[in-house]
Amino acid sequence: MAMMSMIAVVAMAENRVIGDGRGLIWHIPNDLKRVKMLTMSCPLIMGRKTWASIGRPLPGRASIVMTRNKLWIADGAIAVPNLEAAIEAAQSWIENTAGSRPDIILFGGGEIYSQGLEYCHRVERTVIAKKLDGGADAAYFPELPQADWDIEIEAEVEATNDVPAYRYESAVRREPPRQF
Ligand SMILES: NC(=O)c1ccc[n+]([C@@H]2O[C@H](COP(=O)([O-])OP(=O)(O)OC[C@H]3O[C@@H](n4cnc5c(N)ncnc54)[C@H](OP(=O)(O)O)[C@@H]3O)[C@@H](O)[C@H]2O)c1
């Protein structure tokens, strides 16, 4: 079994807004394809609000859903009470699933990114090249300080009538992350 690592996958605006608390505030089909490619055959760790915004398990992946509500259940979701339990569930899904990849995906939203980022050695980030207002319940991705992260721009995509300009960035931690 290869070493497991944790990777955050996120799309955010220039001011780090990732959504309005209920869903995304943009629609970028190519980014959704990229998320699918980056996450396929991996366990996803997400918050209960992000699960609600998607509304179903994503095929070919485990949906590990963090909630403090001990009674919460949903078809196709693995409910867990905290981040440690989420990581354990992700590890055991990788070990017990044929064809799985050894990448645990930190899938959001804002609460889950801020708690899990210290375990991530890499962030795959789509940055929408403008500031967006997420409203009163806006969720945010944490800042990645230059001192701690080596950030490379992988591709830049120009705006069209339907979609604002955005870029793909890959950020790698300069020092190893917290071990799990
Ligand atoms: N752009 C992107 O890449 C991206 C990705 C994902 C999500 N999003 C957006 O982010 C927004 C949602 O983010 P959010 O921060 O509001 O919510 P969230 O992180 O998705 O979920 C928060 C919920 O997770 C549970 N939780 C958090 N910490 C926990 C812990 N330590 N132990 C157990 N459960 C815990 C709690 O559920 P209970 O209340 O049930 O206890 C909490 O209410 C939406 O707008 C969504 O569309 C964007």
Residue 166: closest CA among 36, 53, 21, 30? 30
Tokens of 165: 């300009």
How many angstroms separate the alpha carbon of residue 47 from the centre of ligand 1? 4
How many angstroms separate the alpha carbon of residue 40 from the centre of ligand 1? 21
Which pLDDT value is given to residue 3?
85
Dist CA 180 CA 171 (whole Å): 20
Which pLDDT value is given to residue 1?
54
Which pLDDT value is given to residue 78?
98
Residue nearest to atom 15 of ligand 1 (CA): 110
47 CB near ligand 1 (under 6 Å): yes
Domains and CATH numbers, the chain: 5-173 (3.40.430.10)
Which pLDDT value is given to residue 143?
98
pTM of full prediction above 0.85: yes
Residue nearest to atom 25 of ligand 1 (CA): 67
Which pLDDT value is given to residue 22?
97
9 Cα nearest atom in ligand 1: 3
Q: Cis bond leading into 60, ω under 30°?
A: no
How many angstroms separate the alpha carbon of residue 76 from the centre of ligand 1? 17
83 CB near ligand 1 (under 6 Å): yes
59: Cβ contacts below 8 Å, ≥ 6 apart: none
Which pLDDT value is given to residue 92?
97
Tell me which residues of the chain have a pLDDT lower than 70: 1-2
Residue 156: closest CA among 132, 127, 131? 127
